[in-house]
Structure 1
């Protein structure tokens, strides 16, 4: 356990705080959290952080409980596992998931933690982690799809003092950077993360100077307590004592086996909710394991509850005592060291589909369909005509699910704060052209509220090199709900410069590309919500005109018949809808697009790929 050194050991008394002071401090902390982002984006070099915002900040109280931020508090796990001292001016770095109970979940995420001192006392923590484009390992990008151990995935940094009482540990940093392919990017991104944490530290110190440390810390207690009370009420009114369960899948492990099951059962015990992952498959030999930190999952649960039922609540760690998470050891979500973790993003994202399937079963009006539950990656690397190394890491976007209150957005990230890398940026800094960046019509599941469409990005490579692809939902469908249809699955295909077409697996490395080869990176759509036969025919016609739905899709999925000028033929539409109603079976809550056995039987005909082999576990 860490030993915290403070020159001022006088206890800080808790004081009464009024609502105006709470409001001022709360909004000041919100602004400080966004200022952390702004500092990072203006200082980092890698497009994954600078352009796509693949980073997650937080500001916590002295015990490490997150008050504002993202991804929940991982500081408690650090304090429990770090055996050294914590002193003013220290800045800590780690990228080892197994040393912090999965607070970061693969070696590409570099986590910086900084204690915030005021008047000789620790008054809080600032922390942030960002995804590094490369951390060494067997393939460029450090996310090998065939890894069987974390030691194949690049340099692993145990918890160290990057700064010791304000002094940079330069030799250790040079040793770490010597293991990576893009050391200038890593150094710049790391410095930017440190600068962001120091910015938060200054803002917290200013609040302590303005209000006094006692008032500031009492406000933090009030914010955490307010969150506890709000979540206690939400749990009492939305979670039943009777268990409900839901299962979803990771399609394959990158080594030919799958799908892998993620199962969760939820129920309420008194004022607490229990989420039990019993039934989840054992850990994979391949790198799709997701070392799920219990506090991180509590945060996922809290965000989902708040955004669905009461978006005005500021989420923080205050409600954690109300949630109990049970994850079986040596399962896909709690693998044993040194299991590979580099492709964990698919399980991480699929957790949100599982939560959606759980929380909406008893209240279908709040039920979301399955959405773009991943952050799929494309890596492209090689040497240009001048012999200079280039290396791209980019996150793909897809369709957000149809929801009780509207259509899912088209071509969006799983994470709301992520943004797309501008095509102009890509073409300016990498040897490629973006020949197509467009929505895929009909890829969003049909429904009263349509699922968001996936997108098709066509990359024309201008230099020979290698690509790696990380994706999922090519075998199972993003399911629809309440009569909504599933969204379309993802696909990746390479058109060689001689015109031949090759369908690529959803997870692959070391794919050689030549100049003028074109990769089509097609992402999946979100599932639909509600009966598509109840959607306004005029709205369907408008979306056909906008290229979001095809004329054939309108006819087959929505029962809408359009004339040559794309206006609605009302009589034929009513007849077509009645034809569909009379021929279809009873509408269920979920539409998975078929059983696993049915999907296996249709797989090669529908996808051009052989179905994955059923995993075997010891």
Structure 2
């Protein structure tokens, strides 16, 4: 366990704080969290961080509990596992998921943690992690789809002091950077993350000096307690003592095996909720394992509860004692070292679908369909005609699910703060042309609220190189709910310069591309919500004109259009009447077929051979 060296051993006094002060400090901390983002985006170099915002900051209290942030705090786990001293001016770095209980979930995420000292005492913590474009390993981008061990995935940094009492350990940093392909990007991105954490530290110190340290600390206690009380009420009102279960799948492991099952059961015991992953498949020999940090999952659960049932609540770590998470050892979600983790985003994303399927079962009106639950990657690298190394890492977007309160957005990220890398940026800095960037009509599942459409990005390559692809949902469908239809699957294919077409697996490395080869990177859509036969037909006609659905797709809503795409009201009424009479009852969950059926249809529907059932030892 870590030992914090403080020259001031006076404890903090608990004092009463008025609501106005609480509100001012809370909003100041929220602004400081966004200032961390701004500092990072303006000083990082890699497009994954600078343009797409693949990073996650937090500000915590002196005990390490997150007060503002996104993923929940992992500082408590760090303090329990780090065996050294912590002093003023220290800044810590790690990229080892196994050393921090999965607080970061693969070696590309570099996590910086910083204690915030004032007058000889720790008054808080700031932390941030960001995805490095490359950390070495067997393939450019460091995310091999066929890895059997984390040691194939690049340099793995144990928790270390990258700054010791304010002094940078330059030799250690040089040693780390010597393992990576893009040294300048990694150095710049790391410096930017450290600068962002220091910015948060200055803001916390300013608040303590303005209001007094005891008032600041007492305010954070009030914020955490407020969240505890609000979540306690939500759990009592919405979670039953009856056990409810839900299952979803990761389609394959990159080695030809799959699907892999993620299963969760939920129930309430007294005033707290239990989420038990017993029944989840054992860990994979491939890299789709997702080391699920318990506190991170508690935060996922809390955010989902809050956003569905009471969006006015501002989340923090205060409710953690109300949630118990059980994850079997050596499972897909708690793999044993040194299991490979480089394709873990599919398990991470699928957790949100599982939560959605669990939390809405007792109240189907609150269900969300399955959506774009992943962060699929494209890597393109090589040496250009000038002898310069280039390396692209980009995250694709897709269809957000239909929801109780509206359609799913088209072509959106799973993470709300992520943004698209502008096409102009890609074409300016990499040897490629974006031939098209458009939504895929009908890819969102039909419903009273439509699922969001996926997108088709066509990359024309201007230099020979290699590509890697990370994706999922090519076998299973993003399911619809309450009568909504599933969304469309993903697909990836190359149109070679000679006109031939090559369908690519959803997970592949070292695919050679040549000048004028075109990659179509097609992402999946979101499932639909509710009965599509009661969707406003005028809205369906409008979406046809906007290119979001096709004439054939309009018939999924029982809508018939004239040649000028105006609504044929009589034909629509007749078609809807026919469809209502002929269809079976509405399904709460429409998965597009059971796994055995999907496998039988796989090659005919996707052009790819179905994965084989995994064998566990």
Q: Which interval holds the TM-score relative to the shorter structure?
A: over 0.9
Partners of 2:175 and 2:366 in 1: CA distance: 51
Could you say which residue in structure 1 is the equivalent of 2:458?
Answer: 458
Could you say which residue in structure 1 is the equivalent of 2:330?
Answer: 330
Task: Say if 2:79 is the partner of 1:79.
Answer: yes
Could you say which residue in structure 1 is the equivalent of 2:155?
Answer: 155
Partners of 1:479 and 1:588 in 2: CA distance: 11
Name the SS of the counterpart of 1:42 in structure 2: helix
Could you say which residue in structure 2 is the equivalent of 1:38?
Answer: 38
Shift of residue 586 of structure 1?
Answer: 1.2
Partners of 2:586 and 2:366 in 1: CA distance: 17
Could you say which residue in structure 2 is the equivalent of 1:579?
Answer: 578
Name the SS of the counterpart of 1:511 in structure 2: strand
Partners of 1:517 and 1:11 in 2: CA distance: 66
Q: Report Cα offsets for 1:282-310 as digits up to 9, x if no partner.
A: 00000000000100100000010011111
Shift of residue 536 of structure 1?
Answer: 0.5
Could you say which residue in structure 2 is the equivalent of 1:414?
Answer: 414
Partners of 1:495 and 1:599 in 2: CA distance: 26
Partners of 1:89 and 1:164 in 2: CA distance: 6
Task: Say if 2:255 is the partner of 1:255.
Answer: yes
Partners of 1:551 and 1:502 in 2: CA distance: 28
Partners of 1:373 and 1:332 in 2: CA distance: 17
Partners of 1:97 and 1:595 in 2: CA distance: 34
Residues 411-450 of structure 1 correspond to what in structure 2 (within 5 A)? 411-450=411-450
Partners of 1:484 and 1:74 in 2: CA distance: 38
Partners of 2:337 and 2:381 in 1: CA distance: 30
Shift of residue 67 of structure 1?
Answer: 0.3
Shift of residue 90 of structure 1?
Answer: 0.3
Task: Say if 2:563 is the partner of 1:564.
Answer: yes
Partners of 2:443 and 2:98 in 1: CA distance: 38
Name the SS of the counterpart of 2:43 in structure 1: coil
TM-score, normalised to structure 2, is 1.00
Shift of residue 575 of structure 1?
Answer: 1.0
Partners of 1:378 and 1:2 in 2: CA distance: 39
Task: Say if 2:582 is the partner of 1:595.
Answer: no
Could you say which residue in structure 1 is the equivalent of 2:191?
Answer: 191
Could you say which residue in structure 2 is the equivalent of 1:341?
Answer: 341
Residues 222-233 of structure 1 correspond to what in structure 2 (within 5 A)? 222-233=222-233
Could you say which residue in structure 2 is the equivalent of 1:611?
Answer: 610
Q: Aligned pair count?
A: 617
Residues 233-244 of structure 1 correspond to what in structure 2 (within 5 A)? 233-244=233-244
Task: Say if 2:277 is the partner of 1:277.
Answer: yes
Partners of 1:370 and 1:12 in 2: CA distance: 46
Name the SS of the counterpart of 1:273 in structure 2: strand
Task: Say if 2:95 is the partner of 1:89.
Answer: no
Task: Say if 2:360 is the partner of 1:360.
Answer: yes
Shift of residue 430 of structure 1?
Answer: 0.1
Shift of residue 446 of structure 1?
Answer: 0.2
Shift of residue 360 of structure 1?
Answer: 0.4
Could you say which residue in structure 2 is the equivalent of 1:15?
Answer: 15
- What 5-or-longer segments of structure 1 have no aligned partner? none
Shift of residue 435 of structure 1?
Answer: 0.2
Partners of 2:54 and 2:371 in 1: CA distance: 19
Partners of 2:558 and 2:611 in 1: CA distance: 35
Shift of residue 583 of structure 1?
Answer: 1.5
Q: Report Cα offsets for 1:557-577 as digits up to 9, x if no partner.
A: 111000001111111111111
Residues 515-594 of structure 1 correspond to what in structure 2 (within 5 A)? 515-555=515-555, 557-594=556-593
Q: Report Cα offsets for 1:117-158 as digits up to 9, x if no partner.
A: 111110000000000000000000000000000000000000
Could you say which residue in structure 1 is the equivalent of 2:142?
Answer: 142
Could you say which residue in structure 2 is the equivalent of 1:476?
Answer: 476
Shift of residue 579 of structure 1?
Answer: 1.4
Partners of 2:186 and 2:577 in 1: CA distance: 60
Superposition RMSD in Å: 0.4
Partners of 1:366 and 1:70 in 2: CA distance: 23
Partners of 2:135 and 2:54 in 1: CA distance: 15
Residues 501-512 of structure 1 correspond to what in structure 2 (within 5 A)? 501-512=501-512
Could you say which residue in structure 1 is the equivalent of 2:388?
Answer: 388
Partners of 1:11 and 1:598 in 2: CA distance: 63
Name the SS of the counterpart of 1:281 in structure 2: coil
Could you say which residue in structure 2 is the equivalent of 1:131?
Answer: 131
Shift of residue 321 of structure 1?
Answer: 0.1
- What 5-or-longer segments of structure 2 have no aligned partner? none
Partners of 2:78 and 2:587 in 1: CA distance: 45
Partners of 2:614 and 2:358 in 1: CA distance: 25
Partners of 1:537 and 1:588 in 2: CA distance: 22
Could you say which residue in structure 2 is the equivalent of 1:70?
Answer: 70
Partners of 2:48 and 2:305 in 1: CA distance: 29
Shift of residue 584 of structure 1?
Answer: 1.3
Shift of residue 582 of structure 1?
Answer: 1.5
Could you say which residue in structure 2 is the equivalent of 1:403?
Answer: 403
Q: Report Cα offsets for 1:433-486 as digits up to 9, x if no partner.
A: 000100000000000000000000000000000000000000000000000000
TM-score, normalised to structure 1, is 1.00
Q: Report Cα offsets for 1:17-37 as digits up to 9, x if no partner.
A: 010000000000000000000
Partners of 2:534 and 2:12 in 1: CA distance: 61
Shift of residue 336 of structure 1?
Answer: 0.2
Shift of residue 70 of structure 1?
Answer: 1.3
Partners of 1:377 and 1:11 in 2: CA distance: 48
Could you say which residue in structure 1 is the equivalent of 2:24?
Answer: 24
Name the SS of the counterpart of 2:78 in structure 1: helix
Could you say which residue in structure 1 is the equivalent of 2:53?
Answer: 53
Partners of 1:183 and 1:580 in 2: CA distance: 60
Q: Report Cα offsets for 1:503-543 as digits up to 9, x if no partner.
A: 00000000000000000000000000000000011000000
Shift of residue 270 of structure 1?
Answer: 0.4
Partners of 1:212 and 1:287 in 2: CA distance: 49
Could you say which residue in structure 2 is the equivalent of 1:492?
Answer: 492
Partners of 1:162 and 1:266 in 2: CA distance: 41
Shift of residue 603 of structure 1?
Answer: 0.5
Partners of 2:387 and 2:574 in 1: CA distance: 65
Shift of residue 338 of structure 1?
Answer: 0.2
Shift of residue 11 of structure 1?
Answer: 1.2
